[in-house]
Structure 1
Amino acid sequence: MKQFIYTLEHIYTDEEHTAIKLLGFFDDLTKLEKIKDQALEFPGFRDYPDGFLSIKNELDKVHWKTGFSSVIGEVGRDYIPEKDEIDTEAYVVQNLLSIFSVSHTYTIDRYLDDERIIGVFSSLKTAEKNIDELRQQPGFKEYPEDFIICEIELNKLLWTSGF
């Protein structure tokens, strides 16, 4: 049976750019709403109160399975080629304290990084296994050491100030 978690992001566009901020991962919508209320107290978030977005992300699913052949750039990190279609029988993850977020980032030049979100995983072992498989794919095999694994505690605000 598939499991998912909720992801809370904040997206805003001003006259210069669009920015996306990851606020956290959650196993309960009530906890997500509480964190959203906390973020609304900070400058930036309260200036763009309609910018919050909650997303269901399938756990242990790999995005970018076939590697890549072109540069996306910084903003490209926010474009997963395949959005999660959560099965109606899937259920929210239970009994996890944290998840492992995996991305791949390499520097194109001193002003630009190319980043891809790979997925969120239930264990370090699962994350590492998927990275080992991805290292054989075009694009990833040219930058095999540029995978980033972050253990992130569930139900916790990742931002402690405004912007």
Structure 2
Amino acid sequence: MEYFIYALNHTYTDESHTDTKFLGFSNSIENLEKLKAKAIVLPGFRDYPESFVTDCYILDKIHWNEGFLEVIGEIGRDYIEKGDDIDANCISIKELGLNTVFSVSHYYTIHTFLDDERYIGVFSSLKKAEKAIEELKDKPGFKDHQNDFNISELDLDILLWSTGF
């Protein structure tokens, strides 16, 4: 059985750049809408109310199985373009009763104003997050920066950008 999680992002473009802010994970669309309602009144977010993006991600899935060969993306950040395709056999993580999840990313500094960053996936346990990292350490790109993985334990239904921007 596969499980999925809801994610809320805010991606906007102004005169000078495009920026994406990850706002949080949720186990239901109703709770995700509550996060959006909290964010939309904050500075920055209220200036771009049409820029909220809801995605779904399959839990315990690695999104960079092949590694990487070059720095790509805005300022070296390479985000997953869209969420996973969710079918009728995939159910919400609400069924698991989780209060937290483990988000895995990989980033390193190229020089003062340039980081290379990739979002790896969201995992149901620390053990599964660590296992994903072990699977990736010998892949192209990652093997040159084995100590640059990051695991963040995140509470569900918490707005991560509570002051706006």
Q: When the two structures are superposed, what TM-score results if normalisation uses the length of structure 1?
A: 0.95
Whether the aligned pair in 2 keeps the contact of 1:2 and 1:87 (CA below 8 Å) is no
Aligned residue runs from structure 1 range 84-123, under 5 A? 84-94=84-94, 95-123=97-125
Is structure 2 residue 65 aligned with structure 1 residue 65? yes
Which runs of 5 or more residues in structure 1 are unaligned? none
Classify the secondary structure of the residue corresponding to 2:103: strand
- In structure 2, what is the Cα distance between the partners aligned to 1:14 and 1:143? 33
Q: Show the counterpart of 1:155.
A: 157
Deviations 1:69-107 (A, max 9, x none): 111255553432785122221100020001100000011
Q: Secondary structure at the match of 1:12?
A: strand
Q: Please tell me the residue identity of whatever aligns with 1:19.
A: D
Q: Provide the rounded CA distance (Å) in 2 between the counterparts of 1:153 and 1:91.
A: 19
CA RMSD, Structure 1 to Structure 2 (Å):
1.5
d(CA) in 2 for partners of 1:142, 1:82 = 27
Residue of structure 1 equivalent to 2:50: 50
Per the alignment, do residues 61 and 136 of structure 1 end up closer, same or farther by CA in structure 2, a change over 3 Å counting? same
CA distance in 1, matches of 2:131, 2:25: 22
- Structure 1 segments of 4+ aligned residues over 2 angstroms from their partners: 73-83
- Structure 2, unpaired ranges of 5+: none
Give the match for residue 40 of structure 2.
40
* Aligned-partner Cα distance in 1 for 2:77–2:109: 13
What amino acid sits opposite 1:149 in the alignment?
I
Q: What is the identity, as a one-letter code, of the residue corresponding to 1:5?
A: I
Distance 1:27 1:91, change over 3 A: same
Contact kept, 8 Å, 2:7 with 2:57, in 1: the verdict is: yes
| Contact map agreement 1:63 1:81 (CA 8 A) in 2 | no
CA distance in 1, matches of 2:84, 2:111: 31
